[in-house]
């Protein structure tokens, strides 16, 4: 067997294992609409908390060590909630088509088109914000610009998972 075939087999094995992990019956209790909605709301709340925490050191409300500690805790909670959200949708938004069946691949397409709309709206809002700040001559404080950039970046990453969790048949 050639090295290229070895790599392909290895990648296929990794994908199968990832798909099996996301399909674990252990997460069955999260796979109905209500728990998925709750997880999605928790994820949005975490983003809001993150936005607040990012701004706090900039206005001198908390020392830098407290900021770093809060961010460390937040990242751990974020990873756990995101993992539960992905397991609740069996990872249809994350897995490639090779490990999905035709119905799941169809849902994946719908999820990505929904996520595209969410991210487009966010981009329009951000563009409008920048235009307004330029028009009124407001120098946006550095901490606020960083906060907006961090939260926007994370929203781009989690948008497909949030949309998948809010679809009734994912």
Binding site for another protein (CB under 8 A): 23, 90, 100-104, 169
- DSSP string for residues in 63-86: -HHHHHHHHHHHHHHHHHHHHHHH
Nearest-approach distance from CB 46 to another protein, in angstroms:
28
Is the CB of 107 or the CB of 163 nearer to another protein? 107
Nearest-approach distance from CB 83 to another protein, in angstroms:
20
Which tokens is 59 given? Answer: 């206005």
CA angle 151, 153, 158 (to 5 degrees): 90
Is the CB of 102 or the CB of 142 nearer to another protein? 102
Q: How far apart are the first and last CA of the chain?
A: 38
Nearest-approach distance from CB 22 to another protein, in angstroms:
11
Nearest-approach distance from CB 103 to another protein, in angstroms:
5
Nearest-approach distance from CB 101 to another protein, in angstroms:
4
Is the CB of 17 or the CB of 117 nearer to another protein? 17
Which tokens is 49 given? Answer: 């908390």
- Distance from C-alpha of 15 to C-alpha of 11, rounded to nearest angstrom: 6
Q: Quick one: angle between helices 33-55 and 64-88, nearest 10?
A: 160
Is the CB of 86 or the CB of 90 nearer to another protein? 90
Under DSSP, the state recorded for 140 is -
Is the CB of 88 or the CB of 104 nearer to another protein? 104
């Amino acid at each position: 067997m050639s090295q290229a075939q070895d790599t392909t087999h290895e990648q296929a094995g990794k994908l199968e294992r990832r798909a099996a992990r996301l399909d674990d019956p252990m997460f069955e209790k999260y796979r109905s609409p209500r728990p998925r909605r709750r997880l999605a709301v928790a994820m949005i709340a975490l983003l809001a908390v993150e936005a607040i925490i990012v701004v706090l050191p900039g206005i001198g409300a908390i020392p830098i060590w407290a900021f770093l500690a809060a961010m460390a805790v937040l990242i751990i909670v974020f990873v756990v909630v995101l993992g539960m959200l992905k397991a609740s949708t069996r990872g249809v938004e994350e897995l490639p088509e090779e490990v999905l069946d035709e119905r799941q691949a169809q849902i994946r397409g719908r999820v990505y088109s929904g996520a595209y709309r969410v991210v487009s709206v966010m981009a329009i809002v951000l563009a409008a914000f920048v235009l307004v700040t330029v028009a009124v001559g407001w120098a946006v404080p550095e901490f606020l610009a960083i906060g907006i950039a961090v939260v926007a970046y994370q929203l781009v990453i989690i948008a497909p998972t949030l949309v998948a969790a809010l679809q009734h048949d994912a």
